[in-house]
Amino acid sequence: MTLVRNPILPGCHPDPSICRVDGEYFVVTSSFEYLPGLPIHRSTDLARWELIGHAVDRPGMLDMAGMASSSGLYAPTLRHHDGLFWVICTLVDQNDPARGGNFVITATDPAGPWSEPTWLGADGIDPSLFFDDDGRAWVQGTRLARSPQWHDQTEIWLREFDPEARALTGPEHVIWRGALIGAVWAEGPHLYKVDGRYHLVAAEGGTEMHHAVSVARADAVTGPYVGNPANPVLSHRQLGRTADVVAVGHADLVQAADDSWWAVLLGMRPYGGLHANLGRETFLVPVEWEDGWPVFAPGEGRVPDQVEVPFAGEGRQERSATIAPDDGRWTSVRALPGEVADAVDGEWLLPIRPEGPTDPQPFAFLGVRQQHPDLDFTLRLSGRLAPGEETGLLIRQSERDHVRLAVLGGGEADAARITATLVRAGESAEQGTITLTGPLAEGVELTCRARGQDYELLAGVEGSQPLRVATVDGTSLDSFSSGGFLGLWLGAYATSVAAETDSVIRVARVEYHPR
């Protein structure tokens, strides 16, 4: 028996959805404005997970230009039916609700390629697919209640789905409005048929401290659904702000080959106070059935640090090494990495763009998720900068909240001026500055040493001791402080600050070391 450490997918991997096919498990998670989108991980034992691809990974599949941070791809569901993998998801533009909507894509291999999106025309968010054993298929989704009894009351709707036409059909049924009176954001619905009954698992309470899992069941897929007397069946909200894991919810169930049941769900690990810089991560809990109801984390009632999985091999291995361009962890903002940079001989060539970290547009950025509270992240950059241009290391929450460790153009030919800037709620404040002897053309190393909420920023030239530029307090960067739905990303960026340019930055020897 193996003890599997939680979270199983550390770093920003929210809204997990899982399915099992031929002895393998597949999980998809939300990715918001980052592309490639909707990462898909594979495991044979629920313990060791491998990133095998993304469901949105080609130019032109979706247009996210101009979308604000924490817009984009919300709450996908992954299912397998009749030889096809199905992903159903919502594209959300918080500034323009009319843009985007619910769509479905399919693939014979979850690693891809995936089909072009088919738009369903249904409103709301968090769509889910259910394939019944009678051959019929159904879509469930969430929207604000048409006749709300309180603010932010939602309702979960159900409509039949035609897999051949990839279209909704038949009448709509509103099947759930939340387990508790006054409950907000009943969302993330998933349906299962167990022992002849239909079971609805839904999130409730919002995605922060009051997040929870509730369950209802019915004799017919269209209802009526009756709530579990134990609702909410899993939550950490009663544990308060000092709990090791908070904001637990958005669960999806899977049955293993040995007939045991498991749930993946999201949660956050605060540190340095109520700050969760890693974002909403994917956790695993066992599930048992008692009196026809699922019991999450039986005998414990909370997400454990470790889960006993009888059929698992060795647990997750920490990844610590150079991150090459062909590593699947690379993402960009509102664009694919290959659309903003070129991979050449194991390095990135990053053309400078007029757009920058404060713009809600694709910009020259290559980043990876922060997955550990303590880490060393290093970039080696080289190139030539014109006056007004800059390149450097970006710690990104959003356009309005981030940290830039920047190499500035326009200085002395044999020196590089380095500044650290904290952007909080759109306001910039310089944190420190140094000058290095030696031009950027010969290479500058930039490092972020994160130790909890202290982000120490250093710069140096190869072969010399790096110099401290500043230490930034990271407590302003997480979603509890800044809003939004994301954890932090670390990466390389470059901008000409609105000017046209043909400058190119070489990004080499990118290293991520957990500590």
Catalytic residue list? 15, 187
User: Hey, what are 485's tokens?
Assistant: 């739905």
DSSP state of 316: P
CA-to-CA distance for 146 and 158, rounded, in angstroms? Answer: 15
> In sequence order, what DSSP letters do the residues of 487-510 get, joined into one string?
--EEEEEEE-TT-----EEEEEEE
Question: Which residues does 434 contact at the CB level (< 8 Å), separation at least 6?
Answer: 417, 418, 459, 467, 469
User: Hey, what are 252's tokens?
Assistant: 């999806």
Closest to 88 (Cα-Cα) out of 75, 71, 107: 75
Cross-strand partners of 223 = none
Using only C-alpha atoms, the chain has a radius of gyration, in whole angstroms, of: 23
User: Hey, what are 152's tokens?
Assistant: 């932010």
Q: φ, ψ for residue 481 (rounded to 5)? A: -85, -40
Contact criterion met (CB below 8 Å) for 406 and 448 = no
> In sequence order, what DSSP letters do the residues of 226-266 get, joined into one string?
EE-TT-SSEESGGG-TTSSSEEEEEEEEEE-TTS-EEEEEE
CA-to-CA distance for 67 and 177, rounded, in angstroms? Answer: 29
Contact criterion met (CB below 8 Å) for 210 and 250 = no
Q: What's the length of the chain?
A: 515
CA-to-CA distance for 395 and 453, rounded, in angstroms? Answer: 13
CA-to-CA distance for 233 and 241, rounded, in angstroms? Answer: 20
Closest to 347 (Cα-Cα) out of 323, 331, 369: 323
Residue 2: Cβ within 10 Å count: 18
> In sequence order, what DSSP letters do the residues of 170-205 get, joined into one string?
EEEEEEES-SSTT----EEEEEEEETTEEEEEEEES
Contact criterion met (CB below 8 Å) for 331 and 337 = yes
Contact criterion met (CB below 8 Å) for 410 and 386 = yes
Can the peptide bond before residue 117 be classed as cis, meaning omega within 30 degrees of 0?
A: no
CA-to-CA distance for 80 and 484, rounded, in angstroms? Answer: 31
User: Hey, what are 165's tokens?
Assistant: 């036409």
